[in-house]
Structure 1
Amino acid sequence: MSDPSPSPFSSPLPAQHWVRVGVGADAAMLDAWLMARAPLAVPEARARRLSLEALLAQGGQGLCLVGGTTAVPEAVECLLPVPLIHSLGTGGRLALVSEWWGPQARLAPCLDELADWCRAHGIRAIAVAPGLAGEGGAPAPGYERDGSGLWLRSLVPTAKRLG
Structure 2
Amino acid sequence: MRQCCLAIGPAMPSDFPSPFPSQPDPASAPALPAGPQALVRLATPADAGPLCAWLQSRQALPVAAARARDALVENLLARPERGTCVLAVAGGAAAPRLVGCLPVALVPHLQLSGLAALAVEWWVGAEAAQEDPAVLLACCDLLADWCRAHGVRHMLLAPALLAGSQADSAGFVAHAGGLWHRNLTPAPKTLG
With normalisation by structure 1, the TM-score equals: 0.85
Asked if 1:136 corresponds to 2:165, the answer is yes
Structure 1 residue 73: Cα displacement: 4.7
Q: Return the letter of the residue paired with 1:27.
A: A
Indicate the larger mover: 30-39 or 96-105: 96-105
Partner in structure 1 of residue 49 of structure 2: 28
Consecutive aligned runs of 4 or more in structure 1 exceeding 3 Å deviation: 70-73
Q: Is the 8 A contact 1:108 1:139 kept in 2?
A: no
Residues matched between the structures, number: 150
Q: Distance in 1 between matches of 2:175 and 2:76?
A: 26
Deviations along 1:114-134, whole A, 9 cap, x unmatched?
A: 001000010010000011113
Asked if 1:107 corresponds to 2:136, the answer is yes
Q: Distance in 2 between matches of 1:59 and 1:18?
A: 21
The 3-state SS of whatever aligns with 1:28 is helix
Q: How does 1:3-152 map to 2 (within 5 A)?
A: 16-71=37-92, 73-102=95-124, 103=129, 104-105=132-133, 106-134=135-163, 136=165, 138=167, 141-152=170-181
Structure 1 residue 36: Cα displacement: 0.6
Q: Distance in 2 between matches of 1:142 and 1:73?
A: 34
Structure 1 residue 17: Cα displacement: 2.2
Structure 1 residue 15: Cα displacement: 5.8
Asked if 1:157 corresponds to 2:186, the answer is yes
The 3-state SS of whatever aligns with 1:48 is helix
Aligned Cα RMSD in Å? Answer: 1.9
Q: Which runs of 5+ in 2 are unaligned?
A: 1-34
Q: Return the letter of the residue paired with 2:113.
A: G
Q: Distance in 2 between matches of 1:154 and 1:160?
A: 18
Partner in structure 2 of residue 3 of structure 1: none
Q: Return the letter of the residue paired with 1:46.
A: R
Deviations along 1:72-120, whole A, 9 cap, x unmatched?
A: 6521000000011001111111000100001323111110110010000
CA radius of gyration, larger in:
1
With normalisation by structure 2, the TM-score equals: 0.72
Larger relative contact order (Cα-Cα within 8 Å, sequence gap ≥ 6): 2
Q: Which runs of 5+ in 1 are unaligned?
A: 1-13
Q: Distance in 2 between matches of 1:46 and 1:140?
A: 38
